[in-house]
Chain A
Amino acid sequence: MVRLTWSRQLPALPAVAGAARSRAGRTLADKAARREGVLVDQIGEWTVVRGDDLPWTDGVVYLGVMPEAPRVLVPVHRRPSVPGEVLAAAIRQRVGIGTVAVLPSDSVNDASGPGVLVLLSS
């Protein structure tokens, strides 16, 4: 088993989605509902929004597409320690196909967290 760690992504990936939880998630969902073309997914305690005109709220984590793995979304400022294709293959093996968001499971402001949180979206 390979431990996944995170380092800084420089420059940030273009944001194509946003994720937030708890109160921030509810605010994000409310704002997204008022914008055309913004899709909203509720995955457990996380709210994930996708589209061109992304809303903002304090606590949102913006997500970008890994260039080598278009179905994998990661925080725009973070780079996983394994190549995108390897990460995508591992996720597909465990949870199936579909677009996924992969977040460090602890505070998203830390450079490396103990694990990952995978949000699967259809």
Chain B
Amino acid sequence: MDRELVGLSRSLAELVDRAGHGLVRRRSLVELIVLATVAREHLLVIGPPGTAKSQAVRQVAATVGDRYFEYLLGRFTEPTELFGPIDLSELREGRVVVDTRAMLPEAEIAFLDEVFLGSSAILNTLLGILNERVFRRGHTVRACPLRICVGASNSLPTDPELDAFADRFLVRVFVDPMPDPHLDELLERGWEASGPPSPLGPDRSGQLFDDAAALVDRVDLTEVRAHIAQCIRLLRRHDITMSDRRAVRAQRLIAAAAVLDGRTTAVEADLWALVPAIPTAVDQARASEILGERIARTSNAVAVDAAEEISAGLSAIAARIARTHAEYDKLPPGEDRILRMEGLAREIDATFPRDSLPPELAQVRASLVDER
């Protein structure tokens, strides 16, 4: 394995560790942000407010020292609030020139909350930035140093007119509020980690992303391309639609997964990276089950949690519930223990059909019934 590539992989792993500082159960979000950035694709995170969506992006930017821009869009947000004011002195000369200093067109990492609420003027300008990394407005045309734009929303848009814009975000991540079993850890980590993550240092900046992205272009997909096609055909047979454009671009995610793992040859162990390109949460979960052995338990040197969660599907959930039960079993008898155990029982019955309960969970469930 190329030593420079291994060094790059280790630096990216360190980036994920530092950027994940203080975040609970959001490491996979940080990993997928890094994956998308290396693939030079954008990411859409769907989830309710207060689920650390912007914090994860902010911490990635702080760790590499990239110029960061964040904004909460609303229906009445003006283009100048994102792209910069019109230069009045130029306007007097009859030229519409935008002063983009410290605004989105000069950002390397951007986070746009409630991204689908933007006006058509905003979304049309954003399309150019997302597609071509070029900002166009009036007489201003400039290249943008944007590495990744992370859009956020409470839910996927239902207006078909937003489909084309939404499709620019290849990677989709769906986050839920912290499950009850992890609330204590959230409160503890949130209290302890009140400062920003420690940066990588000036010699390992956002250039790290550019070096990795350049390698993605050189990844050899020959060995794995037939498997990718088989996976897509299998998903389509199960009514999981992936457009031709999305399927072609998803190859960059697989190539990026290889680079993150320190390789320039993609192998079957990288196929898990196909799943985040599937547009909906339900279909992503179904895809993990349907692809099953094809994306069987894999590991990735940087995207540790994301690869494990995606490839293991229900198995990962079963393992987590069993671990949590073992922790709760140490609690003394009382209302707190009963409520926590009932929460686990609810999750088991709501997630697994009784006739296909994994053996380890069947034992857990039996003990929960006896717990009453």
Contacts and interface: CB of A to CB of B under 8 A. Distances in A.
Interface of A: 8, 10-12, 15, 54-58, 60, 62, 67, 76-77, 109, 111
Interface string B75-97: 00000000000000000000000
A65 to B, nearest CB: 12
Interface in B351-372: 351-355, 369, 372
Given A60-B349, A77-B353, A11 B342 contact: no
Contacts of B1: none
Nearest to A9: B353
A67 B283 CA distance: 13
A11 B350 contact: no
A56 B350 CA distance: 10
B285 interface: yes
Nearest to B180: A53
24 contacts: A8-B353, A10-B285, A10-B289, A11-B282, A11-B285, A11-B314, A12-B351, A15-B346, A15-B350, A54-B346, A55-B346, A56-B343, A56-B345, A57-B372, A58-B345, A58-B369, A60-B349, A62-B346, A62-B350, A67-B282, A77-B352, A77-B353, A109-B354, A109-B355
A12 B350 contact: yes
B346 A56 contact: yes
Given A54-B346, A62-B350, A77-B352, 13 more contacts: A8-B353, A11-B285, A11-B286, A12-B351, A55-B346, A56-B343, A56-B345, A58-B369, A58-B372, A60-B349, A62-B349, A67-B282, A76-B350
Contacts of A15: 346, 350
B307 to A, nearest CB: 19
Interface string B97-128: 00000000000000000000000000000000
B289 A11 contact: yes
A67 B282 CA distance: 11
A10 to B, nearest CB: 6
B316 to A, nearest CB: 12
Interface in B26-67: none
Contacts of A76: 350
A10 B282 CA distance: 8
Contacts of B349: 56, 60, 62
A11 B354 CA distance: 14
A109 B355 CA distance: 7
Contacts of B343: 56
Interface of B: 282, 285-286, 289, 314, 342-343, 345-346, 349-355, 369, 372
B348 to A, nearest CB: 9
Contacts of A62: 346, 349-350
A39 to B, nearest CB: 17
Contacts of A109: 353-355
Contacts of A55: 342, 346
Contacts of A67: 282
Contacts of A10: 285-286, 289
B317 to A, nearest CB: 10
A103 B349 CA distance: 16
A111 B356 CA distance: 11
A68 to B, nearest CB: 12
B279 to A, nearest CB: 14
Contacts of A54: 346
A13 B354 CA distance: 15
Contacts of A11: 282, 285-286, 289, 314, 351
B62 to A, nearest CB: 34
B290 to A, nearest CB: 8
A68 B343 CA distance: 29
B264 to A, nearest CB: 35
B160 to A, nearest CB: 16
Contacts of B285: 10-11
A117 to B, nearest CB: 18
A46 to B, nearest CB: 17
A55 to B, nearest CB: 7
The 3 lowest CB-CB distance pairs between A and B, nearest first, are: A11-B285, A56-B346, A77-B353
B157 to A, nearest CB: 15
A36 B350 CA distance: 20
A55 B350 CA distance: 11
Nearest to A61: B349
Nearest to A55: B342
